[in-house]
Chains A and B, each alone.
Chain A
Amino acid sequence: MSRSARERRSVVAVEPVGPYALVRVERGRIDPGTPGQFFMLEAPGRVLPRPMSLCLAPRGELAFLLDPVGPGTQALAELEPGDAINVFGPLGNGFRLDVPRPLLVGGGVGIAPLPYLSEALEHPPAILGFRSAHHAEAAALLPNAEVVIDPVFVTEVLPAGRDVLACGPEPMLEAVRALAPEAQLAWEAPMACGYGACYGCVVEIDGELKRLCVEGPVLCSS
């Protein structure tokens, strides 16, 4: 298992990707971890850091895709090159990579962990759903992707007989799970700490409350 560390890191760049922002920070000695694991990123001026799964691990960097919709993600998207933030991770459990016929499924900013996952699995096919063509520009982050745009849903083009690894909004994950009960799903919840301290990030899965930061964020539904 990767050892997590909390270190101050410089921002290399913040790039727009459609409506999203790709925040690139210096990696230093931080372990990028396995795909699906996440990092707590200090959001300048906010009380709590924000959990972000690793999107890409270019040489010497860690890159995170985020949707600047709230005060924390906006503060992160407004970082300038040379600014420094605390980066804590990798945290949680990532995807299991020992799958014979992988298919990546993502929705919206939930595609965030898939580029790094795609690399680890040597670019398997992917199906990505977005709410607009502008949002769909983020599909360029991973090769071999079929893109569908609202009102078409990813579940309408999901082939059978694949090992699904998915991340996206909760309704999408529920719909994917109904079609592919064995799927590995990366869930999301508001998190205060990211390391099991606050018990804030529980989600109800099959009637049981799971602490996403230590038992997830990737959970196998069956």
Chain B
Amino acid sequence: MLLLNASGCLDALTAADTARSLDAFVTKTVTPEPREGSAPVRIAETEFGMLNAIGLANLGRDRFVAETLPEIARVVGRPVWVSVGGFCVQDYVETCEQLARDDVACIELNLSCPNVDEAPESASEIVAACREVAATPLYAKLSPHAWDIGETVRAIEAAGADGISLVNTLRGVALDARLRPTLARVTGGYSGPALKPVALAAVYAARRVTGLPIVGMGGVQTGRDALEMIACGATHVALGTVLFADPDAPTRVRTELSDEATRAGFATPASAYGAALESVAKMAN
């Protein structure tokens, strides 16, 4: 089991210690052109989570590959996963070509940012096109909005993905005291504790249809949350919003995870893998 950060929730260059406390570091999403991102206000706390509308602010892939990536690899000293975003299939393909480098351990295709317009092609078309050019392991990060996530996961596996990342944020709106949208972009990605049951359902549904590795994320704040992801079939677990409140979360969650596994009657966290699906299967028999 690898403990990762969710893309967008950590900058290794301003928080190297936190990045080094993970098993692998996932970059913010890189797009073909530089993006300044959304106008402020970009974040809003809600009762049980938060909204963000950062808008994939990044320097663009040329500067990312030339400047940011080597610096991240040097500072982190851990495998680096690069999150790739785009607005059409060609965007993804060309960035994947540029990322055929020793310092990229994995490419996570961000197919689900709620804060930018989606590419017109389907997730599986993008994965298939990237697979043709990329020898690097390819993960597809999906939205929790899909009604039948199993169907999407099957198509993505057939297109040649090496793994699935579940889930991105849910689209949401927050209003201020005078009932105006808090975020300048009006809608944002909803994350935090409220997202956990949604993420567990998505991981569970995906695990029922695929043997591919799954990175489970969404509302993981504690070792118990991480253990629940594993029980629903996550191979790896990523931390998102919790990193904003607690830069020491990776170390804490790892410690809690072992204790929580014991408490739930499992020798190790890994032995709880798929436990939720097995218990359902047993009941069915």
Contact = CB atoms under 8 A, between A and B. Distances in A.
Interface of A: 6, 40, 42, 46-49, 71-72, 86, 88, 189-193, 195-204, 209, 214
Contacts of B40: 189, 201-204, 209
3 shortest A-B CB distances, which residue pairs?
A196-B14, A200-B43, A193-B244
Contacts of A202: 37, 40, 42, 57
Nearest to B10: A197
A83 B157 CA distance: 51
Contacts of B50: 47-48, 192
B158 interface: no
Given A72-B45, A214-B14, A197 B244 contact: yes
B1 interface: no
A205 to B, nearest CB: 11
Contacts of A189: 40-41
A198 B54 contact: yes
Contact of B42 (A46, A193, A200): A200
Contact of B54 (A6, A46, A191, A199): A199
A178 to B, nearest CB: 21
A169 to B, nearest CB: 15
B42 A47 contact: no
A197 B45 contact: no
Given A6-B248, A196-B13, 9 more contacts: A47-B45, A47-B245, A72-B45, A191-B43, A193-B244, A199-B37, A199-B42, A200-B52, A209-B36
Interface of B: 8-11, 13-15, 18, 28, 36-37, 39-46, 48-50, 52, 54, 57, 192-193, 241, 243-248
Majority secondary structure, B binding face: loop
B243 A197 contact: yes
A3 to B, nearest CB: 11
Contacts of A190: 41-45
A88 B39 contact: no
25 contacts: A6-B248, A42-B245, A46-B45, A47-B192, A48-B50, A49-B245, A88-B247, A190-B41, A190-B42, A192-B244, A195-B15, A197-B10, A197-B11, A197-B14, A197-B243, A198-B54, A199-B11, A199-B54, A199-B57, A200-B54, A201-B42, A202-B57, A203-B40, A209-B37, A209-B40
Contact of A192 (B13, B18, B52): B52
Nearest to A200: B43
A18 B34 CA distance: 47
A193 B245 CA distance: 6
Contacts of A192: 43, 45, 50, 52, 241, 244
